Amino acid sequence: MNTIKLPKIGVAKIDITPDYPIRLSGYGARKTETTNVVQPIWARCLVIIPPNQQPFILLCVENCGIPEHITETVAQRLKVEENIPRRHFTLSFTHTHSAPFVSGALETLFGQSIPVDHQARIDRYTVELTDKLVLVVQLALSKVEIGQLSWGLSSVDFARNRRDKRGPVDHDLPVMLASRKNGEPIAIWCSYACHTTTVAFNTINGDWAGYAMSELEAEHPTAMAFVSIGCAGDANPYPRGEYEHAKQHGHSVAEEVSRLMKTKLKPLNLDTMRGEISWIKLPFDEIPTRTEWEKRVKEGGAVGYHAEVQLAQIDSGQILPSHLSYAVQVWQFGQDLSIVFLAGEVVVDFALRLKNELGKDTLWISAYCNDLPAYIPSVRILKEGGYEGKTAMIYFNRPTHFKPDVEELVVSAVHGLLS
């Protein structure tokens, strides 16, 4: 007699709030450490085990940006310890600008070197966080139960284009629900394309995404909530500036997700679930000459410090990179749904183009996954220049901005993985 294998779901979360002073990431002007916690921050794990397959793992981390070296360390440990294929593992971060700075991300954010004692605490947190990310996956794997997945699509509207108030935005709010056979929710996952930059105080909190997850978990006590961020590179929340604004936006998301959960969601067939990942090369434009770097050093400030760092690399015998290694990942549920995971701060043009080319009714796009290497600009944004197109690269320790090829390379990679 054959036993029918049913899909299984597991969830877990772990507190990643430090109990010692630390610098926060996201804003270079904040150079003092903080111990002020307004809201705890968490790493959450969702495990999906389709019939006859190895588990799929989604990590949702409340941090500004997890660099590739942490993602790949966690992925390698999970491969060795839990036999999780790399293509089944995704690390998403909420991009809150109110969480600790980690080693290897936004390396030149502060426009000056970091004091030794500050760096020691950053390194300590980075090691502790990495260990906790492995642990929370193992906790979720230990608690799997039979479940089913469904999904739906709604919208909220607090994101605004921050380059042009009349510019493009993506207001889609895709929602995935994992539930028991009796309908009780196990996990609620949603995604919205908006920066988590409602507040800029020197305090630890999850910004609107943290408040959305907290409210959803209070509203649905049997479930764990997950928020990922879409192509929000050029989108900010409005209004902004106060904790009440962050709570208001979090409430907007939680309220709409809860409303959608009461409707008939589309079931997902896990028998057809598959995952793929590839790394492509995104080319940088022409690298400045040594004379140009020396000229920039004299400018001082963030530009000067960035130039100093580039010269130090050259003087140590390193060759400045000509390209960026960039992760593109997909999870597919047959013809029902394709989820695209893109690294970095991807601008909205990518989401709008991909949804137009592949169909928005079956496409979910999350950015801020697997790495925070840079802003990923479209051809339009590169032509316009400005922060997201060019000048932000100095905070990511990149030698220069990208060539216009990057849009086509990323879009083609997505098409290739989904074909």
Q: Does pLDDT of 3 surpass 80?
A: no
- pLDDT tens, residue by residue, 282-304: 999 999 999 999 999 999 999 99
Q: Report how far residue 283's alpha carbon sits from residue 266's, in angstroms, rounded to the nearest whole number.
A: 40
- pLDDT tens, residue by residue, 235-273: 999 999 999 999 999 999 999 999 999 999 999 999 999
Q: What is the pLDDT of residue 233?
A: 98
H-helix or E-strand containing 324?
strand 323-333
Q: Average pLDDT, stretch 407-413?
A: 99
Q: Are 390 and 382 in contact (CB under 8 A)?
A: yes
Helices (H), 220-288: 243-261
Q: In angstroms, what CA-CA distances link 21 with 105, 125, 197, 206, 210?
A: 19, 10, 21, 17, 21
- Percent pLDDT > 90 in the chain is 98
Bond from prior residue into 239 cis (ω within 30 degrees of 0): yes
H-helix or E-strand containing 145?
strand 145-146
Partnered with residue 49 across adjacent β-strands are 8
- Mean of per-residue pLDDT scores for the chain: 97
Q: Report how far residue 212's alpha carbon sits from residue 190's, in angstroms, rounded to the nearest whole number.
A: 10
Q: What is the pLDDT of residue 332?
A: 98
Measured at the CA of 218, the angle between CA 214 and CA 222, to 5 degrees, comes to: 110
Q: Average pLDDT, stretch 305-325?
A: 97
Alpha-carbon torsion (261, 265, 269, 274), positive or negative:
negative
3-state secondary structure of 22: strand
- pLDDT tens, residue by residue, 16-56: 999 999 999 999 999 999 999 999 999 999 999 999 999 99
3-state secondary structure of 322: coil
Q: What is the pLDDT of residue 6?
A: 81
Q: Report how far residue 131's alpha carbon sits from residue 378's, in angstroms, rounded to the nearest whole number.
A: 36
- pLDDT tens, residue by residue, 335-353: 999 999 999 999 999 999 9
> Around Cβ 402, how many Cβ atoms within 10 Å?
25
Alpha-carbon torsion (19, 224, 72, 68), positive or negative:
negative
Q: Does pLDDT of 1 surpass 60?
A: no
Confidence grade of residue 227 (pLDDT, cut at 50, 70, 90): very high
Q: What is the pLDDT of residue 4?
A: 56
* DSSP codes joined into one string, 336-404: TEEEEEE-SEE-HHHHHHHHHHH-GGGEEEE-SBS----EE--HHHHHH-HHHHTGGGGGTT-SSPBPT
How many separate helices (H) and strands (E) can be counted in the chain?
Answer: 10, 18
- pLDDT tens, residue by residue, 51-94: 999 999 999 999 999 999 999 999 999 999 999 999 999 999 99
| pTM of the shown model | 0.97
- pLDDT tens, residue by residue, 101-155: 999 999 999 999 999 999 999 999 999 999 999 999 999 999 999 999 999 999 9
Q: Are 132 and 70 in contact (CB under 8 A)?
A: no
Q: Work out the burial of residue 60: count CB atoms within 10 Å of its CB; fewer than 13 is exposed, 13-18 middle, 19 or more buried.
A: buried
Q: Report how far residue 370's alpha carbon sits from residue 406's, in angstroms, rounded to the nearest whole number.
A: 18
User: Could you tell me the two tokens for 300?
Assistant: 């001082």
- pLDDT tens, residue by residue, 350-406: 999 999 999 999 999 999 999 999 999 999 999 999 999 999 999 999 999 999 999
User: Angle at which helices 243-261 and 207-219 pack, to 10 degrees?
Assistant: 40
Q: What is the pLDDT of residue 241?
A: 98
Tokens 């895709």 label which residue?
A: 174
